[in-house]
Amino acid sequence: MKKACVIGWPIAHSRSPLIHNYWIKKHAIDAIYEKIAVDPKDLNSFVEGFRKSGLVGCNVTAPHKEAIFDIVSMLAPPASRWGPPNPI
């Protein structure tokens, strides 16, 4: 089974797993989408351990959206073009 997630701090309020798991089930994909609380001080460690974690993908939400741009080794073309989100 493949696993993906959304990370943030706090993350308990996230509805992402509800939405993603609906489509995973609807399309009979052997996967699960979870939410993982990552304290900002642990963001570097999370990213460093990502490949070994067994996760195949990860979405990022507050407060990590800006910090992640300085940490990851590869950005998808849209992310490279747009840069980090503007704070509200």
Given a contact cutoff of 8 angstroms between Cβ atoms, the answer to whether 11 and 1 are in contact is no
Given a contact cutoff of 8 angstroms between Cβ atoms, the answer to whether 6 and 60 are in contact is yes
3-state secondary structure of 14: coil
Of 3, 26, 35, 65, which one is the catalytic site residue? 65
Residue 7 sits at φ, ψ, to 5 deg, of -115, 150
65 is catalytic: yes
Sign of the torsion formed by the C-alpha atoms of 16, 66, 57 and 37 = negative
- Residues belonging to the active site: 65
